[in-house]
Each structure stands twice: as C-alpha cells, then as structure tokens.
Chain A
C-alpha cells in the first residue's frame, strides 16, 4: 500500500470513529427514531381513515407518497444537519484547536488527508441515510402497504444530496470558522430548497421568470435537484398520473425524473468543489 492510500484509509477510519464516538451519532439516532415513531403513528391513522372508506385506494397511495416524501425530507434534513456540522469542524476546528498541527507534520499530503475525511463523511452520511430511509420505507409498508417504485435509486439520490452538502461544508471549513461553515452550508441547503419550491409554483402558474429561480438554484447547488429526483423515485407514478394536474407546484411531489445530464452535472459539481477545497486546504497556514 502506498503512503497516500494508507493516509486516506487511516483518516477515513478515524473520521468514522470520531462520528461514532462523539455525541453526534446519538443525537442523530434519537432524532431519527422520533421521526420514525411519529411517522409510523401518522401512517397508521391514514390507514385507519382509508378503512373507514373516506379515501379511495388511489387517493391513499397519493397521500402516502406525499407523506413518505415529507418524512424523507425530514430524514434528509437530519442527515444534512448532521453531516454539515460534522464536516464543518473537521478542517477549521482541528486547525483552531491544534489537533491538525501534529497530524499534518507527519509525512502526509494534505489532499490525502482531505480525501480521507471526505470518504469517512460520505460513508457516514450515506450509511445513515440508507439505514434510516430503509427503516422509513418499512414503516410505510407495514402501516399503509405502500412500497416505493424505485427505493434503491431514491436512497442513492438522497445519499448523493448529502454528499453534495458535505462537500460544500468541507470547502467552507477550509476558509471559515467551524460553526460558520455548518450554518452557511445548512442555510444554503434551505435556500435552494425554497428556491426550488418557488420555481415549482412558477411552473404551475406558467411564469417562466419565477420558474427560472428554481432552475438556476438547482444548478448552483445540486441538493434540491437531487432531492426532487429522490422524491420522484419514492412516489407512486399511477397516483401521480391520476391526480398530478391538481397537485402541480406541491413541494412534496415531483413530476419528472432526473436526467443523466443533471446527474453528470452534480458529479462534476462535487468534483469541482472538492478540488477547490483541496487547493484551499493546501494553501492554508496552520
């Protein structure tokens, strides 16, 4: 094993160990569990309502799709907060505290250290999303007997959304303080989501100018675009086709799947931001 590969793996393992030993993991687990229990209760009520005959089976599936997307949004928000606040302190926090001094004086390349941290965070964020998302899908299956059409693609897109956000958090943490980088990353995440909703409303109203707000923000920070792709993979296509026109602009339904071009752009975006982070970290004086 070459020195660089050894550094990358060592730092990735260290990052995972940090995440598992610090309180972040327990906080994430508690939040997720609360969300799962609450959503389980909500979905069982929904099942009870449809038993009483006030909802048709098509309506139930549409509502289940919306609710699943809503809860998944909650889970992706938890993942976003968790990884942004983990990614923030990695570089800037360790340089502020002095932990980085002894580590970077070892025969390691800074880009290898950054790649290790990134891989560790990606593994942690994606692992959390897949586990929590799968648990949520099972809760929905048990309570309202709904199983999303493309669960694997949906969870992969949610994981990709987390990767985008944590890469941004990593870049920010090479230039600004730990707390600020977490706050800015989460703030941008929220802002793009809202811009996406605004764009959706614009599309429903046929206003191109407003619609463009969503399109541009989806290019600048691909979190919202990926999130819409994930929603599309979670929701029932038949129900959407039946009721879709009435629900245009609704933020927890997505009309179209992602294009390969957009996925390519998201991958390129991650590579570019990571490259910027590496350059910024290399030039940083400790």
Chain B
C-alpha cells in the first residue's frame, strides 16, 4: 500500500516537473546522415526550431536542404540520427498531427477540387477542422473563388498557393515550407511573407527553405546554412552578420566628442575617419543620437556611412571559405 502511495506521489512529482518544463522544440534533430549510393547527401546535421521561431534554411543547390526536410518529416529514412517533432520521436506518425508541409515538388490530385484536397488533408490529419475554416484557409492564399474547381486546370502558381493552404489547414504548430515562392509572382511572394509573419505572431514555428535570401533575411529569426550536406553556420541574423558599424568623417574632434564616440562602442581611427561599432541591440537610434551629440559638442560631421554586410555577402563568404577548406 505504501509503495503505491509512494508511486502516486512520485508520479505527481514527475508530472509537476514535466509541466514546469518549457515546451519541447517544434523540431529537433541530431546527427542526421543520409547516403544515396556512394554520394553522401547529408552528414551529421543537427538543428533545432524553437516554438514560434522562424528558421531559414540556406545553402547552394545540392547542399542537402530538401533531404534534411524530408528526414524531419519521415519521408526519407535517415541512415543515422534522431528526430523529434513537437516533443515526440518522429518515428511515431502521431508526431506529425500538428505539422504542415509544403513540398518543393508540390502536386495534388488533379481529379479533386481545391476544397476536396483540403478536406482530404484535414481527414488524414484527424483534426476535424470545420468546412468554414477550410474555406478561410483557401481565402488566405487567394483561392476562395476556385474552391469548387478541379486542380487539373490550375496554373503552377495556383497549385503552390493551394499547397500553402494544405500546409496551414490542420491548425499546425510547426510549418515546413520548402521553396514556397518558386512559382509565385512578386505579389504572391509578398503574400507568403505576410503569411509567415502572421504565423510567427500566432506562435507557430516555421522552417523556411528558400533561395531568396532577401526573403529569409526579412522574416527569419535564425538561419541555418548548409553546404555539401553539413551545417556550415547557424545563428541569429545578428550573430551571423556580425555587428553593424558606422564610418564617420569628422574634423574638430575634441576629447569630449571622443569620449562620446567611445560610449557607443569600439572606435578605430584612420586619419579623419572613425569607425564605430554599434551595439547589437541598437533599435536604430544610436547613429542619429551620436550625430546630434557630436554636433552639439562642436565636431564637424562631413559624412556618416552606416555599413552592414548583407546576408548574401555573408552566405557567399561562408560557402567560399567552405570550398577553400575542402580543396
């Protein structure tokens, strides 16, 4: 009897402990490896997508991005490694109940209508989304008018929009978008960006694989860069891009002004040019405040050039370094 009571208490304690833990990441994988014949497609890839986080997956063609995504979703069997989705091992299909997926190769049954495809995916997910909500999903991607049309007559762009609706229909907590804008016009791309941002607002995690670096830079919290099947770099945009800095052409620099410069961050001087590192958490006020104060201190400001390397430059740098190391 005592042991039973002890067990109950221990179970309660364990339950309390688990309840107190932060929610498991939306996706987590470690040591993923995949080989097709002699070619190693993915080697020792580990990554994590936190709840409500938007993570971008970048890399050149053939870097293994789509293979990693397919291994996360159980579509490709990894040779080694472990995957957890929303706190469950991915080998259990139930782990994918709250996962939405838009494949790079988006094709849906051409003999079904758009509304029927959404109903089918809702049934397969077992979520039981009401028809009205399914229609809202179609409206969100701009297909409300075509709900009753068979997909046989849909253009590529419309099929990709439908694919986005399919990924979103079963109230997902984690959405995987593999090249979601490859067939879309600029307007469609803007729509996708808005949808990703609204997902993040609602706390839905997103893994976004895209060639459009600008797109990734605008919506992603973190970026994982793959090259030749390995993680070449990963981190927040600020971490990856390094600190921003500002070049200033100044004359009549007095000690008080120098002190004011040093208060912002590390200063490098080269003749009349000063380079000041900006704090990582700068909300955009550091430069105007600095210029205002320098002018007030009697310094003459000839030029102000804020610089930041773009994600594109950084990506190319990482890939070239990687290529250099391999040689």
**A contact set with B: CB distance below 8 Å:** 3, 6-7, 10, 14, 17-18, 21-22, 97-99, 101-109, 283, 285-286
Chain A residues positioned under 8 Å from B96 (CB to CB): 105-107
Interface assignment of B28: CB less than 8 Å from any CB of chain A: no
Contact indicator A285/B77 (Cβ below 8 Å): yes
Residue in A97, A98, A104, A105 whose Cβ sees the most chain B Cβ within 10 Å = A105
Q: List 6 A-B contacts (CB under 8 A).
A: A18-B111, A99-B108, A102-B108, A102-B121, A102-B166, A105-B96
Chain B residues positioned under 8 Å from A102 (CB to CB): 101-103, 106, 108, 121, 163, 166-167
Contacts known (A3-B94, A18-B111, A102-B108); A108 close to B103, Cβ less than 8 A: no
Contact indicator B123/A99 (Cβ below 8 Å): no
Q: Which of B67-75, B220-228, B301-309 contacts A (4 or more CB under 8 A)?
A: B67-75
Chain A residues positioned under 8 Å from B166 (CB to CB): 102
Chain A residues positioned under 8 Å from B97 (CB to CB): 107
Please report the C-alpha to C-alpha distance between residue A90 and residue B101 in the assembled complex, in whole angstroms. Answer: 21
Chain B residues positioned under 8 Å from A99 (CB to CB): 107-109
Number of CB contacts from chain A to chain B under 8 A: 76
- Among B75, B93, B95, contact of A109 (Cβ-Cβ < 8 Å): B93
Chain A residues positioned under 8 Å from B107 (CB to CB): 97-99, 101
Q: Whose C-beta in chain A lies nearest to the C-beta of B107?
A: A98
- Among A7, A10, A101, contact of B75 (Cβ-Cβ < 8 Å): A101
Q: Whose C-beta in chain A lies nearest to the C-beta of B103?
A: A101
0 or 1 for each of B267-300: is its CB under 8 Å from A? (1 = yes): 0000000000000000000000000000000000
Apart from the given pairs A7-B124, A107-B125, 6 other A-B contacts in the complex at a CB distance below 8 Å: A10-B124, A17-B112, A105-B75, A105-B101, A106-B124, A107-B124
Interface assignment of B8: CB less than 8 Å from any CB of chain A: no
Chain B residues positioned under 8 Å from A107 (CB to CB): 93-97, 124-126
Identify the 8 closest CB pairs spanning chains A and B, nearest first: A98-B105, A106-B124, A98-B107, A101-B103, A21-B111, A105-B101, A286-B75, A107-B96
Chain B residues positioned under 8 Å from A17 (CB to CB): 111-112
Please report the C-alpha to C-alpha distance between residue A286 and residue B124 in the assembled complex, in whole angstroms. Answer: 18
Q: Whose C-beta in chain A lies nearest to the C-beta of B95?
A: A107
Please report the C-alpha to C-alpha distance between residue A232 and residue B110 in the assembled complex, in whole angstroms. Answer: 43
Please report the C-alpha to C-alpha distance between residue A105 and residue B172 in the assembled complex, in whole angstroms. Answer: 12
Interface assignment of B99: CB less than 8 Å from any CB of chain A: yes
B272 to chain A, nearest CB (A): 60
A284 to chain B, nearest CB (A): 9
Contacts known (A107-B94, A107-B96, A286-B75); A101 close to B105, Cβ less than 8 A: yes
Interface assignment of B13: CB less than 8 Å from any CB of chain A: no
Contact indicator A98/B75 (Cβ below 8 Å): no
- Among B99, B124, B163, B167, contact of A108 (Cβ-Cβ < 8 Å): B124
Chain B residues positioned under 8 Å from A21 (CB to CB): 111
Q: Whose C-beta in chain B lies nearest to the C-beta of A285?
A: B76
Q: Whose C-beta in chain A lies nearest to the C-beta of B85?
A: A107
Contacts known (A18-B111, A99-B109, A102-B101); A10 close to B73, Cβ less than 8 A: no
Please report the C-alpha to C-alpha distance between residue A17 and residue B66 in the assembled complex, in whole angstroms. Answer: 31
B6 to chain A, nearest CB (A): 35
Contact indicator A14/B105 (Cβ below 8 Å): no
Contact indicator A98/B111 (Cβ below 8 Å): no
Contact indicator B125/A104 (Cβ below 8 Å): no
Residue in A21, A22, A285 whose Cβ sees the most chain B Cβ within 10 Å = A285
Please report the C-alpha to C-alpha distance between residue A7 and residue B77 in the assembled complex, in whole angstroms. Answer: 21
Contact indicator B126/A3 (Cβ below 8 Å): yes
Chain A residues positioned under 8 Å from B108 (CB to CB): 99, 102
Please report the C-alpha to C-alpha distance between residue A17 and residue B174 in the assembled complex, in whole angstroms. Answer: 31
Interface assignment of B24: CB less than 8 Å from any CB of chain A: no
Residue in B77, B106, B123, B124 whose Cβ sees the most chain A Cβ within 10 Å = B124
Interface assignment of B263: CB less than 8 Å from any CB of chain A: no
Interface assignment of B253: CB less than 8 Å from any CB of chain A: no
Chain B residues positioned under 8 Å from A105 (CB to CB): 73-75, 96, 99, 101, 103, 176
Interface assignment of B120: CB less than 8 Å from any CB of chain A: yes
Residues 45 to 103 of chain B near chain A (Cβ within 8 Å): 70, 73-77, 93-97, 99, 101-103
Contacts known (A99-B107, A105-B101, A107-B97); A286 close to B120, Cβ less than 8 A: no
Please report the C-alpha to C-alpha distance between residue A17 and residue B119 in the assembled complex, in whole angstroms. Answer: 14
Please report the C-alpha to C-alpha distance between residue A47 and residue B114 in the assembled complex, in whole angstroms. Answer: 54
A97 to chain B, nearest CB (A): 5
0 or 1 for each of B195-230: is its CB under 8 Å from A? (1 = yes): 000000000000000000000000000000000000
Chain A residues positioned under 8 Å from B95 (CB to CB): 107
Chain A residues positioned under 8 Å from B77 (CB to CB): 283, 285
Contact indicator A103/B75 (Cβ below 8 Å): no
Chain A residues positioned under 8 Å from B126 (CB to CB): 3, 6, 107
Chain B residues positioned under 8 Å from A10 (CB to CB): 120, 123-124
